[in-house]
Structure 1
Amino acid sequence: MSHTTREKQKLLNRVRRLRGQMEAVERALEEEKGCADVLQLIAGVRGAVNGLMAEVVEDHIQLHVADASLDQTQRNEGAAELIDVVRAYLK
């Protein structure tokens, strides 16, 4: 997956932030924090996972899905439309 290699550090940083968020959920559960606090932490994790997925999918679309026979403008427009659809789905 060349696109993940190209953006490796950026993706790893996102994963590390996710790990930190999951550790916060674990601590909240261990400390018997209120349900609202735990749910808020979980919602943050879900948003972060969706953001990570959107980034990988976006790169995949741009590098592997867009039709190479189209001119660059058409490819960019088509990829942008598909990316918008995927991002809306992941929210």
Structure 2
Amino acid sequence: MTGYGENKREHAMRLRRVEGQIRGLQRMVEEDKYCIDILTQVSAATSALKAFSLALLEEHLAHCVAEATLKGGPEAEAKIKEASDAIARLVRS
């Protein structure tokens, strides 16, 4: 089972909202909307995607990483490295 399994429905709904925001951005460009208005919406979509990412990361740490650390050994080390790399990617984005 994945770490986000219990909240899969909520995550899917959140991603559908982000998808709607992106479609709205496409419409804004097609309709030649004002640049600053588009940038404001880009910021909102980016924030929504970051919030989703952080929620998913929290669940991964609480479930997958925690489970691996209980087992210990190379699997635990690999999960911690994997999580650390994911955090680094999020910070850079």
Matching residue's letter, 1:39: L
The structural deviation recorded for 1:68 is 3.1
Matching residue's letter, 1:14: R
Contact 2:2 2:64 in 1 (8 A): no
Matching residue's letter, 1:68: L
Residue 32 of structure 1: aligned partner: 32
SS in 2 for 1:48: helix
- How large is the RMSD of aligned CA atoms in angstroms? 2.4
Residue 42 of structure 1: aligned partner: 42
Matched pairs, number: 76
SS in 1 for 2:4: helix
Runs of 5+ unmatched residues, structure 1: 70-84
Q: Cα deviation per residue 1:26-75 (whole Å; 9 max; x = unaligned)?
A: 11101100110000010111101101110110000011223438xxxxxx
Q: TM-score, normalised by structure 1?
A: 0.70
Residue 59 of structure 2: aligned partner: 59
Contact 1:54 1:90 in 2 (8 A): no
The structural deviation recorded for 1:20 is 0.8
SS in 1 for 2:70: coil
Residue 21 of structure 1: aligned partner: 21
Matching residue's letter, 1:8: K
Distance in 2 separating the partners of 1:68 and 1:35: 51
Q: TM-score, normalised by structure 2?
A: 0.69
Query: Structure 1 residues 62, 90: closer, same or farther in 2, change over 3 A?
Result: farther
Q: Cα deviation per residue 1:3-34 (whole Å; 9 max; x = unaligned)?
A: 23221101000011001100110111011001
Q: Percent of pairs identical after alignment?
A: 26
More contact order relative to length (CA 8 Å, sep ≥ 6)? 2
The structural deviation recorded for 1:90 is 8.0
